[in-house]
Structure 1
């Protein structure tokens, strides 16, 4: 199945030196005057909203890049392999190629990138712990949003310092009219978090919404949901090296923010307000499905499936 087409097209444009969508379409026509690569569809492909269905587009693409690999390989390869192949073929450093790709079509994608206006920065994140060993406690993380490749040009890095080591997840930031979405993946494992946040409003002092994932520390896998607050810091270096992890029971978020350079008036009232936000729907603020409840349902449907197998 074709994957990461938008990023691959940007890398292709970067290595060819094409500036606009029209330039890229002209390059495809140069190798095949009857190519199925056209401006109308290319706009959706470059925004990641669709991908070419005709195999001939990928065949033309392979000819355009003068690759030994087939069009099918271009469609199905992962982004790292694709980047390495075209960088080697055209004698360009991979890191430099990725940097150029991140700058492609800036003018024509102004609206998409504008949706993320003001989001870049560093945030102190507070949510309720999912681990059964820290039930009811707050967990603190650090989120950095920076310019990067992709339609919206934003990449997020989220980290927590846990008793088992440092957890770091990276992924795209996808601002939209109805919300801000982040899909974060562990750079060294298989942990994934998904954040669905309220749309940002200027001056983007705080973000809030839901974080969904599975507890990292615990005897069983549990799909989990919690509300999360992301407080933007004026100085990204504040508290560097002392970030994250489980906060002691009864900890004050307002007091913790003071250590990060944010001193709020009436801290007791602020703490009550933040606690109400984070603790909605359950006593400890986290919503989790007990594994036993799901296993009981699994038993019903597994038995029915097996009884009617074949």
Structure 2
């Protein structure tokens, strides 16, 4: 019985440390050890001990570790509370000072973190870096899942200079895979793009397919630190309403929804008004104040006014002009073969009539 309690205590400690690392945006043992060293130069939170504690192999032998832990978290939690609290109590208290998505807390519960054997030490005697599947390793699926409000520059020529507003849902699948679903409410119906998203330690990428057209869109996102309130990247494809048929790439900004979906549906096109975005941020659960309005202004500037222009596009007329110029330089035999393969011309005479 005592051995079982000891194992559970070590699991709880490992889970608390994992949650602390994510709250502090620490992705390695070295980074979190540096935080403890800054609080106390003589801390027992050394790389060797951190490795054992994160792996669920041991418990701290000195109580001073919990005082250092309290200082690292800004003094919001007492050393005795950090040491004696359950994981759920610790997570609830930590969430008051750090934004912790509910899905993440659930995945980091002690029961979900297997206690593994130590990794093989290197020739220097130091433990090697944790494997990607190790409970102390930072993984994208810890931070990405959740709901987001997305804004991007309008692609339609009729709405140029305005914002497109959409809703995003990211659901963890397994490993580093997630399902990404993007929805715009446009002209009385929902337009949905969805696909599988993969991630490493720096980027998340997805090929999104539409429910209304035989097209695909490519999404590339920077992978943010915990708690991932903001995701940014590029969305490439073609506009649903674009009679010119351009290929386009635009900036894509996602703001995490902390309101459990209370914001509801928003029409797809909106004015680039910081006050409007500030109101949305309030509905999403962000604290009111000058900083929130300042963020709203910066978000509009990020999406619409970056130095390379609002959009990167490839107009068909540009391709036609370049293509025609190069076609005129192609050898006659090659041009004849290309025309014959199209099946649009039934005789050599018709082919020759097209050649200069």
TM-score range, shorter chain: 0.5 to 0.7
Give the number of aligned pairs: 202
Cα displacement (A) at 1:142: 0.6
Q: TM-score scaled to structure 2, two decimals?
A: 0.51
Match of 1:246 among 250, 255, 269: 269
Query: Which residue in 2 is equivalent to 1:302?
Result: 327
- Structure 1 position 239, deviation (Å): 2.3
Structure 1 residue 211 corresponds to structure 2 residue 238: no
Cα contact 1:195–1:211 (8 A) shared by 2? yes
SS state at 1:259 partner: helix
Whether 1:138 aligns to 2:163 is yes
Residues 123 and 231, structure 1, Cα contact 8 Å, conserved in 2? yes
- SS, match of residue 304 in structure 1: coil
Output the CA distance in 2 between the equivalents of 1:291 and 1:255. 39
What is residue 92 of structure 1 aligned with on the other side?
A: none
Q: Check the 8 A contact 2:176/2:200 in 1, yes or no.
A: no
What is the 5 A alignment of 1:1-310? 110=133, 114-148=139-173, 151-163=175-187, 165-240=189-264, 242-248=265-271, 250=273, 252-266=276-290, 267-278=292-303, 279-282=305-308, 285-305=310-330, 307-309=332-334, 310=337
Are the aligned partners of 1:191 and 1:216 in contact in 2 as well (CA < 8 Å)? no
Conserved in 2, the CA contact under 8 Å of 1:225 and 1:286?
Answer: yes
Could you say if the C-alpha distance between residues 143 and 306 of structure 1 is closer, same or farther in structure 2, counting changes exceeding 3 Å? farther
Distance in structure 2 (CA, Å) of the matches to 1:139 and 1:187 = 18
**Structure-1 separation of matches of 2:249 and 2:311:** 6
Shift of residue 165, structure 1, vs aligned partner: 3.1
Pair 196,124 (structure 1): closer, same or farther in 2 beyond 3 Å: same
- Does structure 2 conserve the Cα–Cα contact (< 8 Å) formed by 1:159 and 1:244? no
Question: Helix, strand or coil: the match of 2:192?
Answer: strand
Q: Compute the displacement of 1:306 (Å).
A: 6.7
Q: Is the 8 A contact 2:195 2:207 kept in 1?
A: yes
**What is the distance in 1 between the residues matched to 2:315 and 2:178?**
36
Contact 2:229 2:256 in 1 (8 A): yes
- Structure 1 gaps, min length 5: 1-105
Structure 1 segments (4+ residues) deviating >4 Å: 106-109
Query: 2:150 touches 2:255 (CA, 8 Å); kept in 1?
Result: yes
**Backbone CA RMSD of aligned residues:** 2.7
Greater RCO, 1 or 2 (C-alpha within 8 Å, sep 6+): 1
- The alpha-carbon deviation at position 268 of structure 1 amounts to 4.0
State how far apart, in whole Å, the 2-side matches of 1:208 and 1:293 are: 29
5+ residue gaps, structure 2, are 1-112, 115-130, 338-356
Query: Equivalent residue of 2:261, what SS?
Result: coil
Query: Aligned-pair distance for 1:288?
Result: 1.7
Q: TM-score, normalised by structure 1?
A: 0.58
